[in-house]
Amino acid sequence: MNLYSYILRRLLYVIPVLLGVCLIVFVIFNVVAPDPAFLLLGRHATLQQIADLHHELGMDRPFLIQYLDIVKSAFTFDFGYSWSSKQQIWEMFKAGAIPSLSITLPLFMLVNFSAISIALLVAFYRGKLIDKIVLIVSIAMMSIPSLAYILFGQWFFAYKLGWFEISGFDPSIPGFIPYVILPILLYVMISIGPDTRFYRAIILDEVYQDYVRTARAKGVSELSVMFKHVLKNAMIPILTYVIIQIPFLLLGLLLAESFFSIPGLGGMVLKAINTSDFPVIKAMTILSALGFIIFGIITDVLYTVVDPRMRLK
């Protein structure tokens, strides 16, 4: 199938999927969730106050109209206004995206590059001391809660040693750099353990394949085997794992942004949850779903790039 025809067909599939996502979001927040009027006004609110708030928020309209509003917002990216801050949600997203990406983007590149490099190294020396040490260290790092890393990092590296800023954010360039170095380093430590184990398992699975034994029998050097054969054939699961992380980049890091007072999307979502700001949560849910759909299409297209045997159907 032609690449453009495939992409067009997959994009057309986005429409029913997005309609289904909107329906799920509508049911969760408009049918299953508690009445936001009670959450916003408190238990001592009068019936008249509740009715007035329902009318103000448009909750007294027919369910079909409310569902169509969600669908419209998903296709136009006009998510309305926040209940708590009264700001336009899209403007809030644009303001929070830069602080979030200033952490998640370098973190994403550092973790994946480091984890793949370490996994290749230990696969090259599989079964030897360095492989066992990396495996033990990875498991040990995975066993420590994320909150422990953040609290210790703030106390020791920022408070005791004074090497980094303990909290806050400067939106200017390069003023933001001192504020994001410590969160990035801490989350590299949090993420590199499980990622290294994952990539190691993928690469070792390829190392024991028949084509690797054939390449070695033909006298191909071990380095060529690892980089030209093993890594190339391991790219399908690696691509899947890497690209599926990309939508999370815009979600930000909830704990890091909260503890380091970084005004990103993660902190904004956490605040929306605490204040029952349903429009913000709905918008983030829809954008996340759309991100997964779009990057799923990109993943399928990239499969054909790294493995010519695969065909788009």
* DSSP alpha helix (H) spans, 146-277: 146-153, 177-207, 210-217, 222-224, 231-233, 235-243, 246-251, 254-259, 265-274
Binning pLDDT at 50, 70 and 90, where does residue 311 land?
low
**At 88, is the secondary structure helix, strand, or coil?**
strand
pTM of the complete model: 0.77
- Retrieve residue 154's tokens: 């703030």
Q: What are the pLDDT digits (tens) for 137-147?
A: 888 888 888 88
Binning pLDDT at 50, 70 and 90, where does residue 7 land?
confident
**At 81, is the secondary structure helix, strand, or coil?**
strand
Binning pLDDT at 50, 70 and 90, where does residue 310 land?
low
Rounded to whole angstroms, how far apart are CA atoms 298 and 292? Answer: 10
Handedness of CA 227, 233, 235, 238 (dihedral sign): negative
Binning pLDDT at 50, 70 and 90, where does residue 1 land?
low
**At 267, is the secondary structure helix, strand, or coil?**
helix
Higher per-residue pLDDT: 56 or 195: 195
Q: Residue 75: pLDDT above 70?
A: yes
Burial (CB count within 10 angstroms: exposed 0-12, middle 13-18, buried 19+), residue 142: middle
> Torsion angle, CA of 34/39/41/42, rounded to 10 degrees?
100
Rounded to whole angstroms, how far apart are CA atoms 165 and 70? Answer: 41
Handedness of CA 211, 212, 215, 217 (dihedral sign): negative
- Retrieve residue 31's tokens: 């049918």
Q: Residue 170: pLDDT above 70?
A: yes
List the beta strands (DSSP E) in 72-123: none
Q: Give the pLDDT confidence score for residue 201 in this predicted structure.
A: 85
Binning pLDDT at 50, 70 and 90, where does residue 134 land?
confident
Q: Could you tell me the residue ranges of all domains in the chain?
A: 3-76, 112-274
**At 305, is the secondary structure helix, strand, or coil?**
helix
Beta bridge partners of residue 63, listed in sequence order:
none
Q: Give the pLDDT confidence score for residue 307 in this predicted structure.
A: 65
Rounded to whole angstroms, how far apart are CA atoms 312 and 293? Answer: 17
Higher per-residue pLDDT: 301 or 197: 197
Q: What are the pLDDT digits (tens) for 212-266?
A: 778 778 777 777 777 777 777 778 888 888 888 887 776 667 777 778 878 888 7
Q: What does pLDDT average to over the chain?
A: 80
Q: Residue 82: pLDDT above 80?
A: yes
- Retrieve residue 51's tokens: 């009715």
Binning pLDDT at 50, 70 and 90, where does residue 313 land?
low
Q: What are the pLDDT digits (tens) for 266-287?
A: 778 878 877 777 888 888 888 8
Q: Residue 34: pLDDT above 80?
A: no
Closest CA to 202 of 157, 235, 246: 235
Binning pLDDT at 50, 70 and 90, where does residue 70 land?
confident
Closest CA to 262 of 43, 110, 97: 97
Q: Give the pLDDT confidence score for residue 227 in this predicted structure.
A: 73
Higher per-residue pLDDT: 225 or 156: 156
Binning pLDDT at 50, 70 and 90, where does residue 193 land?
confident
> Torsion angle, CA of 92/96/97/102, rounded to 10 degrees?
170
Mean pLDDT over residues 97-121, rounded? 86
Q: Give the pLDDT confidence score for residue 42 in this predicted structure.
A: 67
